[in-house]
Amino acid sequence: MEYTDKVCEYFRNPKNMGRIENPDGVSTVGNPICGDVMKIYIKVRDDRIEDIKFETFGCGAAIATSSVVTELAKGKTLQEAEKISNREVVDFLGGLPPVKKHCSLLAEDGLKAAIKNYREKKGAK
Amino acid sequence: MVYMDYNATTPCDKRVVESMLPYFSENFANASSVYQPARAARKAVEEAREKVASLAGCLPEEIFFTSGGTESDNWAIVGAALKLEARGKHIITSRVEHHAVINTCKALARKGYRITYLPVDSHGVVDLSKLEASIKKDTVLVSVMYANNEIGTIQPVGKIAELARSRGVLFHTDAVQAFGKLPLRLDKNGPDMASFSAHKLYGPKGVGALYIRKGVSIPPFIKGGGQEKGRRSGTTNVAGIVGFGRAAEIVAAEMDADIERVGNLRDILEKRIMETIPEIVVNGHPENRLHNTLNVCIRYIEGESILMSLDFEGICASSGSACTSGSLEPSHVLLAIGLPHEVAHGSLRLSLGRYNTMEDVEKVSSVLPGIVDRLRQISPFWNEKKTG
């Protein structure tokens, strides 16, 4: 299993880890049976992701991709953040081993699901 | 660096390397040739055979050198199947075998063989009553490992041998992890075949052996020039075999002291880890377990991330998590002992050996709690648990 230095760096020093109390949107993606679960919390102001945090149970790649997706999304409008793809996450990390591609998909899905959750909550109000 | 992955492989003992050196450039003769240097090489191979046999508690003529444990497992299983094809096509093995056994059995299943995978209890011990009930008229072979590579559980090999013998079924055991760690006595009451590997006992990689009990005969797996009395062809790996012999000789002389010293280090490590890390379970049999092996599941975190963190601290260990195998399934051994997937994903195997010291134990036991703590801080399950 070959990880890039960037993956190791983000695994060692992930940004935006933790929880947000009373988040505007939250998502849980993945499955503990498969060994990867990602939880993403967002705080939204004026349609912009003001704050974003993650909690992840998973391998080195899962933790690194979680960190990267939160960094890419922070400060972006919801429309911009929704366009963040797993490809972008992988490129940011300088590549991922093929068996770890699903971790980057999980990151993309997690972000999208958090935004969806925000919109649903807002719509319900 | 702290190396605690001796069940994966061991460093080649310098005394072993030294014994091998003359057989690369000085005496490079093909051991099958007629001239003097070849006779010297043959003599060295036969001496090595005696040393390996002595450690295994068997006769030298019962040892056949191979390229390693995997080849030995393949040969024993396929050989027995081919030999007894006319009698039946049923093989019994266990759910906790090494892939060298499991995948060989799977290959035979695709050729029409029926394979029974015996369940194990929560300690990883095979169910003897299930074994007895599984032996049918068409059963030709039982293959159950001596000691498990992941959790260290030692199987009741003597009882399995007795049972198999009473029913007229061949018994093979993958003794790759046991050989060099446990005193073996392979005699008429034991298994019919046993697989060994040199690199698990401070010998070189690429050499192993299959013990085939006198009176048992299986067809060759590797066909060719008829080396190893026609049973395993291929130019004799003189240097490798000499190294294997020397490694076995050293182990035989040092085993008792090693078991005590390394076993003590393992016990201290286990005690410290269990005392400092909450929500952790030890896998394997509490008593009948390899003295060097410590396998734990650390709940709410994942094994590969533990390994990476240990690696940053210069500590080499392994895990049965899915991420280390390149699939989504965690270790089949941990699932077979009844652990749920999410717990099995958090496994960590620390296997100790000859060159570990008390300082190594101190380093690992001081570093691990911090690693676990950090990963749990990131884990949604841990945080959920804490807040209820």
Give residue B215's pLDDT: 96
Give residue A2's pLDDT: 86
Residue type, A71: E
Judge whether B376 is closer than 8 Å to chain A, CB to CB: no
- Averaged pLDDT score across all residues of chain B: 96
For residue A25, give the H/E element and its range: strand A25-31
| Residue B323 binned pLDDT confidence (cut-offs 50, 70, 90) | low
Q: Helix, strand or coil for residue A13?
A: coil
Cβ-defined contact of B383 to A34 (cutoff 8 Å): no
Residue type, B95: R
- Averaged pLDDT score across all residues of chain A: 94
Asked if B48 and B246 count as a contact pair (C-beta separation under 8 A), the reply is yes
Residue B388 lies in a domain: no
Give residue B160's pLDDT: 98
Q: Which of A125, A117, A2 is nearest to A60 (CA)?
A: A2
| pLDDT tens digits, B92-151 | 999 999 999 999 999 999 999 999 999 999 999 999 999 999 999 999 999 999 999 999
Give residue B119's pLDDT: 97
CA dist B201 → B16, B154, B274, B346 (Å)? 10, 17, 28, 28
How big is chain A by its Cα radius of gyration, in Å? 14
Cβ-defined contact of B302 to A57 (cutoff 8 Å): yes
Q: Are residues B197 and B333 in the same domain?
A: no
Residue B386 lies in a domain: no
Give residue B327's pLDDT: 65
The torsion angles phi and psi of B386, rounded to 5 degrees, stand at -65, -40
Active-site residue list of A: 34, 103
Give residue A124's pLDDT: 75
Q: Are residues B93 and B177 in the same domain?
A: yes
Q: Are residues B35 and B153 in the same domain?
A: yes
Residue B243 lies in a domain: yes
* Of B216, B250, B284, the domain-final residue: B250
d(CA B92, CA B288): 22
Give residue A33's pLDDT: 84
Q: Of A56-65, A98-107, B32-41, B116-125, which gets the smallest average pLDDT?
A: A98-107
Give residue B285's pLDDT: 98
d(CA A23, CA A16): 14
Q: Are residues B121 and B56 in the same domain?
A: yes
Query: Between vectors from CA B76 to CA B168 and to CA B163, what angle results, nearest 5°?
Result: 30
Residue B322 reports pLDDT greater than 80:
no
Q: Are residues B64 and B137 in the same domain?
A: yes
Residues of B in contact with A55 (CB under 8 A): 378-380, 383
| pLDDT tens digits, B161-181 | 999 999 999 999 999 999 999
Residue B147 in tokens = 């000691």
A12 to chain B: closest CA residue: B309
Q: Which of B157, B26, B137, B42 is nearest to B89 (CA)?
A: B137
Residue B153 lies in a domain: yes
Q: Helix, strand or coil for residue A19?
A: coil
Give residue B63's pLDDT: 98
Q: Helix, strand or coil for residue A123?
A: helix
Of B321, B378, B380, the CB nearest to A35: B321
CA dist B179 → A55, B67, B176, B255 (Å)? 44, 16, 6, 11
CATH number of the domain to which B53 belongs: 3.40.640.10
Give the pLDDT mean for B352-356.
Answer: 98
In chain B, the number of structural domains is: 2
Q: Is the pTM of this model over 0.90?
A: yes
Q: Are residues B92 and B229 in the same domain?
A: yes
Residue type, B193: M
Q: Are residues B269 and B178 in the same domain?
A: no
Cβ-defined contact of A58 to B383 (cutoff 8 Å): no
Q: Are residues B172 and B275 in the same domain?
A: no
How big is chain B by its Cα radius of gyration, in Å? 22
Active-site residue list of B: 323
Give the pLDDT mean for B12-37.
Answer: 97
| Residue B386 binned pLDDT confidence (cut-offs 50, 70, 90) | confident
Q: Are residues B93 and B242 in the same domain?
A: yes
| pLDDT tens digits, B216-255 | 999 999 999 999 999 999 999 999 999 999 999 999 999 9
Give residue A68's pLDDT: 96
Give residue B385's pLDDT: 86
Asked if B62 and B214 count as a contact pair (C-beta separation under 8 A), the reply is yes
d(CA B256, CA B185): 15
CATH number of the domain to which B270 belongs: 3.90.1150.10
Give residue A1's pLDDT: 64
Question: Hey, of B298, B345, B372, which one would you mutate to test binding to chain A, going by the most A CBs within 10 A of its CB?
Answer: B345
Give the pLDDT mean for B14-27.
Answer: 98
Residue B387 lies in a domain: no
Neighbouring CB atoms inside 10 A of B280's CB total 16
Residue B179 lies in a domain: yes
Residue B162's domain comprises 14-250
Residue B384 lies in a domain: no
* Of B232, B250, B268, the domain-final residue: B250
SS (H, E, C) chain B: CEECECCCCCCCCHHHHHHHHHHCCCCCCCCCCCCHHHHHHHHHHHHHHHHHHHHHCCCHHHEEEECCHHHHHHHHHHHHHHHCCCCCCEEEEECCCCHHHHHHHHHHHCCCCEEEEECECCCCCECHHHHHHHCCCCEEEEECCCECCCCCEECCHHHHHHHHHHCCCEEEEECCCCECCECCCCCCCCCCEEEEEHHHHCCCCCCEEEEECCCCCCCCCCCCCCCCCCCCCCCCCHHHHHHHHHHHHHHHHHHHHHHHHHHHHHHHHHHHHHHHCCCEEEECCCCCECCCEEEEEECCCCHHHHHHHHHHCCEECECCCHHHHCCCCCCHHHHHCCCCHHHHCCEEEEECCCCCCHHHHHHHHHHHHHHHHHHHHHCHHHHHHHHC
Interface predicted TM-score (ipTM) over 0.90? yes
Residues of B in contact with A3 (CB under 8 A): 308
Q: Are residues B120 and B207 in the same domain?
A: yes
Q: Are residues B187 and B336 in the same domain?
A: no
Residue A113 in tokens = 């699901």
DSSP per position, A29-69: EEETTTTEEEEEEEEEETTEEEEEEEEEES-HHHHHHHHHH
Asked if A58 and A14 count as a contact pair (C-beta separation under 8 A), the reply is no
Give the pLDDT mean for B184-200.
Answer: 97
Give residue B324's pLDDT: 57
| pLDDT tens digits, B274-290 | 999 999 999 999 999 99
d(CA B378, CA A60): 12
Asked if B224 and B240 count as a contact pair (C-beta separation under 8 A), the reply is no
| Residue A32 binned pLDDT confidence (cut-offs 50, 70, 90) | confident
Residue B385 lies in a domain: no
Residues belonging to chain A with any Cβ–Cβ distance to chain B shorter than 8 Å: 1, 3, 8, 11-12, 14, 17-19, 28, 32-39, 54-63, 99-100
Query: Between vectors from CA B348 to CA B337 and to CA B130, what angle results, nearest 5°?
Result: 15
DSSP per position, A70-86: HHHHTT-BHHHHHT--H
Residue B302 reports pLDDT greater than 80:
yes
Give residue B328's pLDDT: 66
- CB proximity under 8 Å: B 314-333 to A: 321-324, 326-328, 330
Q: Are residues B218 and B277 in the same domain?
A: no
* Of B250, B267, B295, the domain-final residue: B250
Q: Which of B71, B108, B111, B112 is nearest to B93 (CA)?
A: B108
